[in-house]
Amino acid sequence: MPHYTLSLWADPDIGDATFFIVVEHKKETNEARNEPPHVSLWVEPVDGHLPRVTYDAEPMTLRNQVQFVARPFFYKREMWRVGVTLRCQDGIDEYETQIESTPPGFGAWDLLIYSFPFALLGGMWIIAVVRRVRLITKHSRQTAAQLSNASSHDREKDYDV
């Protein structure tokens, strides 16, 4: 397709994925723009254990480009072949690539991000317990020393008599 530039942006989450297909009309052509092309997205596992499934992309008109959104479904984490079919007045063109579907969220960072507040509170609790134990130990040593000094002082008085 000499009149268009195609860009594919993907969030290939397991389950409902989101693909943005950006079709830009090349500026060097002097032809008047006709209606936007029809775009569809198809997916199939690389190993071919499932048939190809095609999804129509919904158009979203922007300034000098047309953006399409397609939401395919990936049922598990694996490599997938993804193709974009572009139909316009000049004919049909197809582009293909491979992607890996990923778990939704930040992946391995999720555990770190979500456990941070609990680890922080747990750390503060441990610090408080350690300080409390030190304070009690210090206080009990002082009390024991005072009692020891008092009892030895009382004994000295008994012997002086």
pLDDT 10s digits, 65-105: 789 999 999 988 999 999 999 888 878 889 999 999 888 77
Q: Do residues 89 and 114 share a domain?
A: no
Q: Do residues 85 and 155 share a domain?
A: no
Q: Do residues 31 and 85 share a domain?
A: yes
Q: Which helix (H) or strand (E) holds 154?
A: helix 109-160
Between 56 and 155, whose confidence is greater? 56
Q: Do residues 35 and 13 share a domain?
A: yes
Q: Do residues 88 and 152 share a domain?
A: no
Kindly report the average pLDDT of the chain as a whole number: 83
Q: What is the CA radius of gyration of the chain?
A: 36
Q: Which helix (H) or strand (E) holds 68?
A: strand 65-70
pLDDT 10s digits, 24-40: 877 655 555 567 789 99
Q: Model pTM?
A: 0.61
Q: Do residues 87 and 133 share a domain?
A: no
Rounded CA-CA distance 61/41 in Å is 18
The boundaries of the domain holding residue 50 are 4-100
Mean pLDDT, to the nearest integer, of 50-72? 88
Number of domains in the chain: 2
Amino acid of residue 31: E
Q: Do residues 40 and 91 share a domain?
A: yes
Q: Which two tokens stand for residue 142?
A: 């002082």
Angle at 48 between CA 47 and CA 54, to 5 degrees: 130
Q: Which two tokens stand for residue 98?
A: 């491979």
What CATH code is carried by the domain that includes residue 59? 2.60.40.10
Length of the chain: 161
Q: Do residues 91 and 151 share a domain?
A: no
Q: Specify the residue for token string 């960072």.
A: 109
Q: Do residues 25 and 85 share a domain?
A: yes
pLDDT 10s digits, 101-143: 888 777 677 778 888 899 999 999 999 999 999 999 988 888 8
